[in-house]
Structure 1
Amino acid sequence: MADIIQLLPDHVANQIAAGEVVQRPASVVKELLENAIDAQATEIKLLLKDAGKTLVQVIDNGVGMSVTDARFSFERHATSKIKAANDLFQLRTKGFRGEALASIAAIAHVELKTKQETDQVGTHIVIAGSTVESQEAVVTPTGTSVAVKNLFFNIPARRNFLKSNAVELRHIIDEFHRVALAHPGIQFSMYHNGSESFNLPESNFRQRIVNIFGSKTNEKLVPVNETTEVLTISGFVGKPEYAKKTRGEQFFFVNNRFIKSAYLNHAINAAFEGLLKDGAHASYFLDLTVNPETIDINIHPTKTEIKFDDEHTLYAILRSAVKHSLGQFSIAPVLDFDRDANFDTPYNFENKQAKAPSIEVDRSFNPFAEETASKQSFAPKFKKDKGSSWQGLYTNLDLDASGTEAQTDARAMRFESGEETSNMFEDASELDKKQTTYQLHNKYVVSTIKSGMLIIDQHRAHCRILYENFLKHMTIKEAVSQQLLFPVLVFLSQQEMACIKSVQSDLEHTGFVFANFHNDHIEVSGVPVNVPESEVTVILEQLISDIENEVPDSHFSATDLLAKSMAKSLAIKRGQSLSLLEQEHLVNSLFACKDPNHAPDNKTIFITISVDELDKKFF
């Protein structure tokens, strides 16, 4: 039998590796930004076209590469980070596999320009599908510029899996935020289709967070600092009252590398236990510094997952550090019953000097001076008689200017009297004859039908009613809006702002009116009818959460998603008491819908129980 096992050609092996390393344009952005950081760059510029599908270019002012290194960097498993297997446990850099550039070059057109500071000219290399088309000397600044064009040009099936530009850009911004937050000492800028999206100057960690997520974020941050033999924790957590329904502001960094860890995230949730509303997620920006020998970052191709030697200890320390910070800054209650809170020094006055007390004396005051007759004549006279009835308390109060008692005409006096009501049991019996619906545990509305009884989930029913109403308004584009006396300011990050702008027209068709879009907030001057002003921020945050979780692309109806999200936010909740009129209106409106059987999320709205089923229960 002939041999059937053979070695794969390099270009095929590179494409297979690219399937692990490069999933979408955001993966290319991550790899190129990390290479620029490893090159000791202090200024990094990211240029994008068509959300990275047409162009992803990263320009840095790092150390650059020699002619040989520039050519050799596109070979598989070529790296300057490790030389022996033991080096995998001493890593303090980003890239070390040596697969990124080789994988990217296998599925795109790549142009590399690089020059070292000591060289007179640099190197220009052009590669398409792992094939080197040209390599020549070129005049270029010190540093490296890598341009990746036409991603997946030779794998059309992979290119068809890419989402819309808005979705792909959202993933790129996520990666950009992760790298920029981990390195606040580096200046970052990002341009998309020629317009500037971010310009982040060199700063400290807190300023970098504020520059990315808006100036309003500064007042939300609570510092967390803890140093132990196992690890060092530094960073910030968000105050509980500013918790959002989205997980967008949750960042863990281990040795300046962004990671995802459900286990450590659970430690944060445990520290916030009892402080967050249902469905809300705490914000955190935490940098953990550990010994590289105690972690393994080589367990995942994208290096976003890390294996720790002793996860239980890290969990306990992280939970305690966050809980201590929340208590230290009076965010969480302190269970110390012997401590008097009146003796606590506010943090604003901790370093201020004590101010000497001053005494003011009224030198004209004479306690022995007699009161004038005029003062005495106007003073009201009260009778103090313990044995008198309650009417005696009001004698001698009605005095005229001369001190004599004023005459009161009894005919001018009016007495309040309550309305006469008939027997309450007669009313109740009359009401029972008319009542056709009942509310059960403030969750369900029970109504009678010919064959038995109907039990309706009030939240799902209202969701269906609002959902169809919003769809109708968006379709005919004739929604009614109520103007606000004062605009509501909704503070959002730039990514959340872009998300709202993508559905702005649909929101306006439901009744929202946006006065202005600023860098870090939106002015809402009008809302749909029956939408309370206090719910505007909650509705928009819920909408952003739904869009990010479902990630609609060109094949998904954004209008449908918007209607579902708003209906879920504005529908009456379980536990809310309804009057008899509201119950009847809910039932009538539900069965006027096109599909009264299912909620917008395809869950059952009501069930029926026949009389026969009830009779069987009593057998």
Structure 2
Amino acid sequence: MSDVIRLLPDSVANQIAAGEVIQRPASVIKELVENAVDAGATDIKIFIKDAGRTLIQVVDNGNGMSETDARMAFERHATSKISAADDLFTLRTMGFRGEALPSICAISQVEIKTRTDEMQLGTRVLINASVVETQEPCACDRGVNIMVKNIFFNVPARRKFLKSDNVEISNIMREFERLALVNNNIRMSIDLGTRKMDLRAGSFKQRIVDIWKNNLDPHLLPINVDTTLIKINGYISRPENARRRNPLQYLIVNGRNMRHPYFHKAIMNCYESLIASETQPCYFLKFEVDPASIDVNIHPTKSEIKFEYEQEIWPILQASVKASLGKFGAVPSIDFTSDVLPVDPLPDGESPERPSLDIPENYNPFVEQRNSFGAEGSDSGFSGGFFPNEGRETSGRRFSSGDRHRDSVPRNWDSLYAGFMSGKGSVASKVVEGAEGEVTTLRLESAGLSGAAGSNGVLPDMEKAATIGAICFQHAQSYIITSSREGLIIIDQHRAHVRILFEKYMSQIERSEQVSQAIMFPDTLTLDPEFRVALSEVEEELSRLGFQIEYEEENRWRIAGVPAMLKDSDPKDVVLRILESVTEDGVNYGSESKVADQLSERMALAMARSTAIKRGQRLSPDEMEHIVGELFSLPDPAYTPNGNPVYCLLDPQKLESLFR
């Protein structure tokens, strides 16, 4: 048998690595900027054309490279950051694997110009899909000027699945914000063609304000903690500034952005009783730890980091956040240093006057109470006492202060239930205690169902009841449970209402009922950079659908009018939801009608999600029955417009298996 295992060519290996390291144009910017930072640059300029598809150019004033280094840098696993395995535990640089540049040149056409201080002339290298075409001397400034052209030109499938321009630009802006936030001591600028951003070098807080303008400055609370294990500094937002959409949450360790759900949960716990359940705070925190206590080599993008002492860091992080919230008055507190209220002392020998009460002699509150509710001579419809008594007179005996007999209380309890279970069209009610102690009323519409619950109190057959009237009850104030011929149905009340409202709003839009309605007190809309790009893309369609959004200043807009069907919605929340959807999923540009249809669907979904009942909201039996009826009258009730399941069905076989 011949040998079948062989070494892959470098070009193929680089393309495989590129699939992990380079996912989109924003990934290229991340790798190139981090290389510029490692090279000691103090000024980094980024130029983008066609959302990165045609050109990504990064220019820095760092140390530059020699002729040999300029060519070696594009070889796989060639790096100047480490030389031995032990160096992985003392990392102070952003890059160290030597995979980024080979991965980039494997899926694009690269041109690089570079010069060091010692060189009079620089060098220019052209690389096409990992193949070095030319290398020649050239005149250039100190540092590196690298151009990445036609990304994924030799991987058509990857290029085809890039999102629309506004989505890719939003991702580029988001990556630029992360890089600029970490490297606040470096001047950074980006030119997207349609808009530019130039950030000066400055303090951490100045960089936050420069990126997000004046949105956060008044609401930032500082944190500065220094222990032998970790040093934490940065800012958190006040509870009242928590965001429902797009919270700004950044964790940085040793100058590197990271995602860390464990530390995120520690911060969220500090805000647990201070903010609404559907909102999240903003935070910008920098950690400084011993490089030997973390492992950054666990993910191709180096965005996930493993901490050796994360259990010990948790209480330090929580204590620092809580201390900042308390110190700066973000939570209510008792001021023990304030003076007590002034009280004039009584003269010596005097005691305070006792208040006098004008109480009639032999006053008995129980006698008065009985008289007011139907004792002898009262106007009440009851013959005596508090309870009705059918066919029997009560003695009218009154309670005395020393002898509280209750013989006068009627004992004929059947009168309370007279007519309760009889009569066509009546409603029988039963009280069921839920798993969490909630008391829920089950309404059995007994139209045509004689004896729905008999004298033994047994509920009717579920399948039969489902054909005559809905039997619904609520669990955990989030789920509606009902029955059908196929089994037990558990419905997510929020998603069900979203599905119902989406169909309602879409029908109104299709009938051209989207009339604009002016707002008496316009909402102010403050947008982050990636949302500004999305708004410029869809502003015309939003106007056609009935929104009146007026520009005020650099990052502020005013919502002066909304579609009339938004009367029960928060206009600001709806607009942000639409922009978030466009930012994440993009718009597939084709004919104008197709774009309009996509935006109409997103607006309808955004409005539905904004106005639908929420999880945790208590519903009456009538409301539950109405939702169930409306849901199952739709042509496709099983899923929300974005594909989430609305309900699940437990068929008889599944139920039987649970009890075996």
TM-score, normalised with respect to structure 2: 0.71
Distance 2:612 2:43 in 1: 49
Q: Tell me the alpha carbon deviations over residues 152-211 of structure 1, each in whole angstroms, 9 at most, x when there is no partner.
A: 11122222232222222222112111110001111111111x233321111211111111
Match of residue 263 from structure 1: 262
Question: Displacement, 1:552?
Answer: 6.6
> Does the aligned pair in 2 maintain the 1:214–1:492 contact within 8 Å?
no
Q: Does 1:452 align with 2:458?
A: no
Q: Which residue of 2 aligns with 1:118?
A: 118
How far apart, CA to CA, are the structure 2 residues paired with 1:153 and 1:177?
A: 27
1:35 aligns with 2:35: yes
How many angstroms apart in 2 are the aligned matches of 1:94 and 1:171? 20
1:299-356 deviation digits (Å, cap 9, x = unpaired): 211111111111101111111111111111111234x6xx436479xxxxxxxxxxxx
The aligned runs of 1:391-402 (5 Å cut-off) are none
1:68-467 map, 5 Å = 68-192=68-192, 194-334=193-333, 339-340=335-336, 342=338, 448=445, 451-454=467-470, 459-460=494-495, 462-467=497-502
Distance in 1 between residues matched to 2:91 and 2:79, nearest whole Å = 13
Shift of 1:130: 1.1
Q: Secondary structure at 2:469's aligned position in 1?
A: strand
> Are the equivalent residues in 1 in contact too, given 2:111–2:124 (CA < 8 A)?
yes
Answer yes or no: is the 8 Å Cα contact 2:62–2:144 preserved in 1: yes
Write the letter of the residue equivalent to 2:160. N
Residue 20 of structure 1 corresponds to 20
Deviation of 1:109 after TM superposition, in Å, equals 0.3
1:470 touches 1:510 (CA, 8 Å); kept in 2? Answer: no
Q: Distance in 2 between matches of 1:510 and 1:438?
A: 46
Give yes or no for the alignment of 1:497 onto 2:532: yes
SS in 2 for 1:277: coil
Distance in structure 1 (CA, Å) of the matches to 2:123 and 2:140: 8
Verify the 8 A CA contact 1:46 1:191 in the aligned structure 2: yes
Shift of 1:591: 7.8
**Contact preservation (8 Å) 2:530, 2:583:** no
* Aligned equivalent of 2:609, options 568, 571, 578: 568
**Unmatched tracts of structure 1, length 5 or more:** 345-385, 388-421, 609-619
Write the letter of the residue equivalent to 1:119: M
Matched residue of 2:303: which SS? Answer: coil
How many residues align? The count is 531
Corresponding residue of 1:516: 551
Counterpart in the other structure of 1:379: none
Offset at 1:523? 0.6
Residues 215, 520 of structure 1: 8 Å contact kept: no
Relative to structure 1, the CA distance from residue 467 to residue 341 in structure 2 (aligned partners, 3 Å threshold; closer, same or farther) is farther
* CA–CA separation in structure 2 for the residues paired with 1:44 and 1:257: 17
CA drift at 1:478: 4.2
Distance 1:572 1:437 in 2: 27
Deviation at 1:119, TM superposition (A): 2.1
Conservation of the 8 A alpha-carbon contact between 2:166 and 2:586? no
Q: Secondary structure at the match of 1:226?
A: strand
Q: Distance in 2 between matches of 1:271 and 1:321?
A: 10
Q: Which residue identity does 1:267 align to in structure 2?
A: A
Q: Which SS does the other structure have where 2:240 is aligned?
A: helix
Distance 1:508 1:243 in 2: 29
CA distance in 1 between counterparts of 2:217 and 2:439 reads: 40
Larger deviation, residues 581-590 vs 15-24: 581-590
* AA aligned opposite 2:127: I
- The answer on whether the counterparts of 1:222 and 1:239 sit within 8 Å (CA) in structure 2 is yes
CA contact (8 A) 2:441 2:621 kept: no
Q: 1:219: Cα distance to partner?
A: 1.6
Structure 1 residues 206 and 5: CA distance shift in structure 2, 3 A: same
* Distance verdict in 2 for CA 1:144–1:438, change over 3 Å: farther
Change over 3 Å in CA distance of 1:324–1:452 after alignment to 2 = same
Instruction: Provide the C-alpha distance between the structure 2 equivalents of 1:342 and 1:282, rounded to a whole number of angstroms.
Output: 31
Q: Which amino acid aligns with 2:612?
A: A
Please give the root-mean-square deviation of Cα atoms over the aligned residues, in Å: 3.9
Match of 1:57 in 2: 57
C-alpha change, 1:437 and 1:519, in structure 2 (3 Å) is farther
1:353 maps to none
Q: Which residue of 2 aligns with 1:400?
A: none
Counterpart residue identity of residue 340, structure 1: F
**Alpha-carbon distance in structure 2 between the residues aligned to 1:444 and 1:161:** 52
CA distance in 1, matches of 2:580, 2:441: 27
1:241 Cα deviation from its structure 2 partner: 1.7
User: Retained in 2: the 8 A contact 1:597–1:604?
Assistant: yes
Q: For residues 135 and 97 of structure 1, do their structure 2 counterparts lie closer, same or farther at Cα, with a shift above 3 Å needed?
A: same
Alpha-carbon distance change, 101 to 580 in structure 1, aligned in 2, over 3 angstroms: closer
